Amino acid sequence: MINFKALFVGASTIIFFGLLLQLIFLLAATGYTIVIREHPEWQTIGQLLSYTIGGISYFVIMSASGYITANIAQKNVYLHAFLIALLTTGISLISSVREDGFTLNSILFVVSGIAFTIIGGYIWLSHQHEERIIKN
């Protein structure tokens, strides 16, 4: 049975924090552009740093949403995590597709989003297992 409340809360969490992260990233990119004009030698390290921070943030948002969804759903945890990841990454992917279609990066975005969300569900399940052991 699919818990629509869990899907709604999980998808809303991803959308809200994803948009918040994009706003922060946009503000940081604006500042980064100003700095690069004066110090072009920082361009490579700046790009690496931005991709690293973006990737870590994406992992945290998707995993936390998987955890929250699992906590609400309580059953079929992996199914619920998979569905919210597919829904939200699909919406993001469709809204960003250009004339050239899907790229390798866009496919990796979807696959990693699904994996990260399922990891969040797995973490929730492992916490439930630990709680059962402690209670007994």
pLDDT in tens, 75-122: 999 999 999 999 999 888 888 776 667 788 888 888 999 999 999 999
Residue 123, pLDDT > 90, answer yes
Q: Which domain holds residue 81?
A: 4-135
Q: Please check whether residue 62 is in contact with residue 14, taking contact to mean a CB–CB distance below 8 angstroms.
A: yes
Q: In the structure encoding, which two tokens stand for residue 47, read together?
A: 């790009």
CA dist 136 and 134 (Å) reads 5
Residue 103 carries which side chain, given as an amino acid letter?
A: T
- Please list, in sequence order, all residues whose beta carbon lies within 8 angstroms of the beta carbon of residue 1, skipping any fewer than 6 positions away: 75, 76
- Residue 57: beta bridge partners? none
Q: Residue 136: its pLDDT value, please?
A: 62
Cα angle: 75, vertex 107, 123; to 5 degrees? 30
CA dist 121 and 44 (Å) reads 35
Q: Residue 79: its pLDDT value, please?
A: 95
CA dist 13 and 10 (Å) reads 5
Query: In total, how many domains does the chain have?
Result: 1
CA dist 123 and 102 (Å) reads 31
Instruction: Say whether 86 sits in a helix, a strand or coil.
Output: helix
Q: How many other C-beta atoms lie within 10 A of the C-beta of residue 49?
A: 13
Q: What is the pLDDT of residues 44-72, one digit of tens each?
A: 787 788 888 888 999 999 999 999 999 99
Q: Residue 40: its pLDDT value, please?
A: 81
Q: With bands split at pLDDT 50, 70 and 90, how would you rate the model's confidence at 12?
A: very high
Residue 22, pLDDT > 70, answer yes
